[in-house]
Amino acid sequence: MRTDTPLTIYRKDYTPPGFWVETVEMGFDLDPEATHVATRMTLKRNPASQNKSLLLYGEALRLVQLRMNGKALTKRAYTLGPGTLEINNPPDHVTLEIETVTHPNLNTSLMGLYVSDGNFFTQCEAEGFRKITYFPDRPDVMAKYKVMLRADKEKYPVLLSNGNLIEEGDLGDGRHYAVWEDPFKKPSYLFALVAGKLVCQEEKYTLHSGREVLLQVWVEEGNLDKTQHAMDSLKRSIRWDEERFGLELDLDRFMIVAVGDFNMGAMENKGLNIFNTKYVLANPRIATDTDYANIESVVGHEYFHNWTGNRVTCRDWFQLSLKEGLTVFRDQEFSADMIGTDSARAVKRIEDVRVLRQAQFPEDAGPMAHPVRPDSYVEINNFYTVTVYEKGAEVVRMYQTLFGRDGFRKGMDLYFQRHDGCAVECDDFRRAMADANGRDLSQFELWYCQSGTPHLKVDTHYDEVAKTYAITLTQSCPATPGQAQKQPYHIPVAVGLLDGSGRDLPLHLGGVEIDGPAPTTMVLELTQQRQSFEFRNVPVHPVPSILRGFSAPVVLEIDYSDAELAFLMAHDSDPFNRWEAGQRLAMRRLLALADAVQKDHALSDSELQETALGKAYHKILSDRMLDPAFCELALTLPSETVVAEQVDVVDPHAIHAVRQFMRRSLAAAMRVEWEVAYQANRTPGSYSPDAAAAGKRALKNLALSYLMELDEPQMHLLAQGQYDQANNMTDRIAALSALVNSSAAGRDEALARFYAEFEQEALVIDKWFALQAMARTTDVAKVRDLMAHTAFTLKNPNRARSLIFSFCNGNPAQFHAVDGSGYEFWADQVIALNAINPQVAARLARSLDRWRKYAPALQEKMQAALKRVAATKSLSKDVLEVVTKSLA
């Protein structure tokens, strides 16, 4: 908790540490009430540093002993500040012995050492190690660790830490011990220990090189029937990193541990990854297709960090995207490669771009906007953002777009050749890419320094006589906090041209000679504010397909007619742009309808079938050759959040009303087709989470949700039947959600039955809360009721997210109730969470950060709620930073 005004930390103020740590030995006497930690470390002066003193960080620790080079330090020899311990005038070589005490059972922040369901876990990224002992807790200080864990044998039979188990034994008196040694140097944020009653699924696995490694997935006893998918995902990750990047697992043993109380998704601690149960546990009964896919990608993500994050780590936390953007890119490519086909790869790409638009574009346009490599922060935990992760991944993807897979691989190889074992900067990665490909990437740095989403305007001109086609690209980037003016970016723009029958034309770009057949997609490199590209030998006036595959994270402004969009949706060889054309058509109609609502015009859909949109949707839904997963994405309307981004003043009620209206219209207009799609995409037989089967279920369940918009008894029966017969959670929860959002008589009973059946499965109860939080009829009063349910607790982040975040972020029409009761509720929960878990509280605080975009009556009430939070006593710096920036 804050005791003074929080300090802003600036990237430009980086200085190297005064001392390097060489070895760390730790002894833990694990006890939930009071754990004693004895640390012995050897340090040596860093000759390259101006910092003469030895600065250690520590938080919420009781210091019991402090010895330097064998002697107890007197009070005058060191200074204990808030959060720091500074040793005055130390010699060049230092051995420090520190004994501290922490209280794991009181630790609700879930940072440092804490207890979850009776077991011990640690979380040290970004600055949690300092809650375990005093230490130069910064990522550029890398050391070798040896750790002894001691604990009651019966309560904590399993004792784990990083690296290799080198010794274990009995201590008598009912206690036992284990000694772990990590052969690799690592920053303190990668330290981990786990102790408790756990069991594991384990397998021996042979690496490409022939070396055998031990893989383990550790869970609580009742969950051993839910580990197979995580284990399979781990093996696929190991294989993929060998094949695609030539990167081998460097340890003899690799462990994944699941924990029910966790702030984030998972953590890449060296050799001992700790996961939120949500991203480990799966079987058909409890997990949906989305859960299966997420588990595969998070297991991959954490495993890939072993090279991109652990072997090569970050010099300071401003460089966070060095490991996160790169590792998200890697996990996206992994997931795409696992599903294989081009069409399935495109589906993955569309899903990733959807996340970017849904969450990152709004962040980039709001008061918390920051560059991929931020220049300052108050609390680093607030910078584990969609910008650092997802936009960072887009920035990495652009290297691959510019240089191809082979060029990208060359850059990666050079990066590891240069920096293995080091703590480096985003610039080092960019330099490796530039040098390996013989290219100047200085302008490309702007993607790391400038915040805001660039806009790309497209103008075209066809010269019928000369048979030339000119594409003129103009870029701009809106002002963001602290950045009024922007310089032009280096933007790769993948383009293609379609002829009248929808075929790709061969491309001949003026001034560019290409051996072999002319390509049908080319990457134009925009580096100026405005630039023209002229194609020669263009026989007919083409329809342009711009930004294929979403080749850069920008907003594309292009004036297509409805007919052109329908044409692209039907013919573009680039599946991303086919989807995109449909989204544009739908968005156009949604915005027109929203405008009508605000002018109090009655909505009419009588001619929907006759519109370009109606025809295009009909065509997609009736095309039996199309991949069902693609159809599902193409027939899903832009979300309310994405629509809100398109208007200057957001009226959440109008947006909700028109989206619902359009869903009902589409349901009625294509009723027969939806029924056919529902039947055609059933997946009888035993459940498999593979992409093909999941795609069919997705389309079938989309059909169900549209049909349920008709709110007819016959459809209620369809949903009820699906619920009763489902042999997997995907179908079951889809049916339940459809029922809950309808007027079906059985909906309350279905909810009650679902609860009774899954009462013992925490992750399913999370779904039960989330589904209700997002239901159309759930208002603030109902959410407050649900908070009083015996299964609800604010202390468990998954549970808090399932109810409170789902409501505040996932139910805009109810959250933005005109009386401001949603905002009152939000403030109450931010304040309550602040006292329990500042990180989770600060995430929730973000829900109001776009308040200035709303209609004035709502704005006023949001501002009042924000001010109430800001004025709260003992606010964490996490929450304070978010609300202060929101109000600024």
**Sites of contact with Zn ion (CB under 5 A):** 324, 327
Q: How would DSSP label each residue in 460-522?
A: EEEETTTTEEEEEEEEE---BTTB---PPP-EEEEEEEE-TTSPBPPP-BTT---SSSPPSSE
125 binds, among ligand PHE, Zn ion, none (CB under 5 to 8 A by kind): ligand PHE
Residue 715's φ and ψ, nearest 5 degrees, are: -75, -35
Cβ contact 775:738 at 8 Å:
no
Nearer to Zn ion, 327 or 730 (CB): 327
Nearest distance from residue 226's CB to ligand PHE, in Å?
Answer: 21
Contacts of ligand PHE in 95-154 (CB under 6 A) = 123, 125
Nearer to ligand PHE, 119 or 308 (CB): 308
123 binds, among ligand PHE, Zn ion, none (CB under 5 to 8 A by kind): ligand PHE
Can you tell me which of 324, 379, 425, 731 binds ligand PHE, judged by CB under 6 A? 324
Q: Is 302 a catalytic residue?
A: yes
Nearer to ligand PHE, 123 or 705 (CB): 123
Kind of pairing, strands 313-314 and 423-424? parallel
Nearest distance from residue 324's CB to Zn ion, in Å?
Answer: 5
Nearest distance from residue 252's CB to Zn ion, in Å?
Answer: 23
Nearer to ligand PHE, 767 or 843 (CB): 843
Nearest distance from residue 843's CB to ligand PHE, in Å?
Answer: 12
378 binds ligand PHE (CB under 6 A): no
Within 8 A by CB and 6+ apart from 688, the residues are none
Nearest distance from residue 106's CB to ligand PHE, in Å?
Answer: 20
Nearest distance from residue 814's CB to ligand PHE, in Å?
Answer: 31
Nearest distance from residue 316's CB to ligand PHE, in Å?
Answer: 15
Residue 49 one-letter amino acid: S
Nearer to ligand PHE, 293 or 735 (CB): 293
Nearest distance from residue 257's CB to ligand PHE, in Å?
Answer: 13
Residue 566 CA to residue 583 CA, distance in Å, equals: 10
Residue 535's φ and ψ, nearest 5 degrees, are: -95, 135
574 binds, among Zn ion, ligand PHE, none (CB under 5 to 8 A by kind): none
Can you tell me which of 301, 397, 697, 700 binds ligand PHE, judged by CB under 6 A? 301
Query: Which tokens is 380 given?
Result: 């680093």
SS3 of 220-269: the string is CHHHHHHCHHHHHHHHHHHHHHHHHHCCCCCCCEEEEEEECCCCCCEECC
- How many helices, marked H, and strands, marked E, lie in the chain? 29, 31
Q: CA separation (Å) from 795 to 31, 790, 801, 804?
A: 21, 13, 10, 12
Query: Which tokens is 75 given?
Result: 């009070």
Nearest distance from residue 665's CB to ligand PHE, in Å?
Answer: 41
What is the pattern of x (binds ligand PHE, CB under 6 A) and - over residues 241-280? ----------------------xx-xxx------------
CB count, 10 Å around CB of 876?
24
- Give CA 879 to chain center in angstroms: 20
877 binds, among ligand PHE, Zn ion, none (CB under 5 to 8 A by kind): none
Nearer to Zn ion, 127 or 324 (CB): 324
Residue 635 CA to residue 706 CA, distance in Å, equals: 10
Nearest distance from residue 268's CB to ligand PHE, in Å?
Answer: 5
Q: How would DSSP label each residue in 138-164?
A: STT-EEEEEEEEEEETTT--EEEESSE
Nearer to Zn ion, 314 or 522 (CB): 314
Nearest distance from residue 356's CB to ligand PHE, in Å?
Answer: 16
Counting beta carbons within 10 angstroms of the beta carbon of residue 439, is it exposed (0 to 12), middle (13 to 18) or buried (19 or more)?
middle
Give SS3 for 825: helix
Nearer to ligand PHE, 279 or 661 (CB): 279
Residue 177 CA to residue 6 CA, distance in Å, equals: 41
Whether residue 781 is preceded by a cis peptide bond, meaning omega within 30 degrees of 0, is: no
Q: Roughly how many angstroms between the first and final C-alpha of the chain, as a whole number? A: 22
Residue 803 CA to residue 311 CA, distance in Å, equals: 38
CB count, 10 Å around CB of 501?
7
**Closest-approach residue to ligand PHE (CB):** 264
Alpha-helix runs per DSSP H in 713-820: 713-725, 729-740, 747-758, 762-773, 780-787, 797-800, 806-810, 812-815
Nearer to ligand PHE, 302 or 564 (CB): 302
Cβ contact 243:236 at 8 Å:
no
Can you tell me which of 127, 261, 302, 425 binds ligand PHE, judged by CB under 6 A? 302
Contacts of ligand PHE in 380-419 (CB under 6 A) = 384
Nearer to ligand PHE, 335 or 772 (CB): 335
Nearer to ligand PHE, 266 or 650 (CB): 266
Nearest distance from residue 301's CB to Zn ion, in Å?
Answer: 6
Residue 398's φ and ψ, nearest 5 degrees, are: -65, -30
Query: Which tokens is 809 given?
Result: 């972020």
Give SS3 for 70: coil
Cβ contact 451:487 at 8 Å:
no
Nearest distance from residue 190's CB to ligand PHE, in Å?
Answer: 9
Give SS3 for 392: helix
Cβ contact 318:373 at 8 Å:
yes
Question: How would you label 61-89 residue by residue, b for 16+ Cβ within 10 Å and e otherwise?
Answer: beeeebebeeeebeeeebeeeeeebebee
Give SS3 for 101: strand
Nearer to Zn ion, 114 or 389 (CB): 389
Q: Which of 125, 302, 394, 673 is catalytic?
A: 302
Nearer to Zn ion, 125 or 766 (CB): 125
Number of residues counted as binding ligand PHE (CB under 6 A): 11
Which residues carry out catalysis? Answer: 302
Would you tell me which residues interact with ligand PHE (CB under 6 A)? 123, 125, 263-264, 266-268, 301-302, 324, 384
